[in-house]
């Protein structure tokens, strides 16, 4: 995917330690992400395991999906606290968020395996923030992320925050993941059929 200059959309706010079982529970791992119709199913079940007490902080639980579209969420961005994507090394977690329409996640920091899976597959853009945004942003606010300046603007409140630069992961995400990046960089040649 070509990295956009701006990512804009409604935000869904989560708390700390959102684990991969909450992002996509194990019983939904029977779908094959290489089959487009089954890839969509991951979007349907994205964040279904998040406890009601945690979703949509600080306002209380707000559904991730709206009635009428059970596959794609009305939210484009997730803002979370610390240790997003902890738990098992489930590569389906960033797939589920991508299938649900999430373009970017902003967290204070990530579990290493979730971050690598998101980048290596080119599924979504994992931004890090030095600020505790879950106390400054509400589910439903409209955010604008400007990649060139690594800033996030809350268009609902007018507040602006700095994000950490994507650095060396930007070209990997832009080429669609680790394997396309390695091929483009001449690190290996794809097998001939």
pLDDT of residue 65: 85
Higher confidence at residue 179 or residue 37?
37
Assigned domain for 82 exists: yes
pLDDT at 190 over 70: no
CB-based contact 40:71 (threshold 8 Å): yes
Instruction: Tell me the C-alpha distance between 11 and 75, whole Å.
Output: 6
Domain that holds residue 67: 11-141
Assigned domain for 107 exists: yes
CATH number of the domain encompassing residue 35: 3.20.19.10
pTM for this structure?
Answer: 0.90
Assigned domain for 26 exists: yes
pLDDT of residue 49: 86
* The two structure tokens encoding residue 141: 């606010």
pLDDT of residue 56: 46
Higher confidence at residue 134 or residue 186?
134
Tens digit of each residue's pLDDT (9 = 90 or more) over 119-174 = 999 999 999 999 999 999 999 999 999 999 999 999 999 999 999 999 998 888 88
pLDDT of residue 88: 84
DSSP output for 139-175: TT-EEEEETTTTEEEETTT--EEE----GGGHHHHHT
Assigned domain for 1 exists: no
Domain count, the chain: 1
Mean pLDDT of 165-185: 83
Assigned domain for 149 exists: no
Tens digit of each residue's pLDDT (9 = 90 or more) over 54-111 = 544 445 567 888 877 789 999 999 999 999 999 887 889 999 999 999 999 999 999 9
Q: Using alpha carbons, select from 127, 49, 32 the residue that is nearest to residue 87.
A: 49
pLDDT at 31 over 90: yes
pLDDT of residue 177: 77
């Amino acid at each position: 995917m070509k990295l956009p200059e701006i990512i804009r959309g409604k935000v869904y706010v989560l708390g700390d330690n959102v684990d991969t079982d909450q992002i996509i529970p194990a019983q939904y791992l029977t779908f094959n992400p290489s089959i487009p119709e089954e890839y969509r199913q991951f979007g349907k079940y994205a964040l279904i395991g998040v406890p009601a007490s945690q979703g949509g902080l600080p306002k209380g639980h707000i559904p991730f999906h709206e009635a009428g579209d059970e596959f794609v969420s009305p939210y484009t961005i997730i803002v979370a606290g610390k240790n997003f994507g902890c738990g098992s090394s489930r590569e389906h977690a960033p797939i589920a968020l991508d299938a649900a329409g999430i373009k970017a996640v902003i967290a204070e920091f990530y579990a290493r395996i979730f971050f690598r899976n998101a980048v290596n597959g080119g599924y979504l853009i994992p931004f890090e923030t030095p600020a505790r945004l879950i106390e400054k942003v509400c589910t439903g606010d409209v955010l604008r992320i400007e990649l060139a300046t690594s800033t996030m603007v809350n268009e609902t409140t007018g507040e602006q925050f700095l994000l950490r630069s994507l650095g060396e992961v930007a070209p990997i995400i832009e080429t669609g993941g680790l394997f396309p990046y390695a091929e483009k960089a001449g690190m290996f040649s794809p097998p001939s059929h």
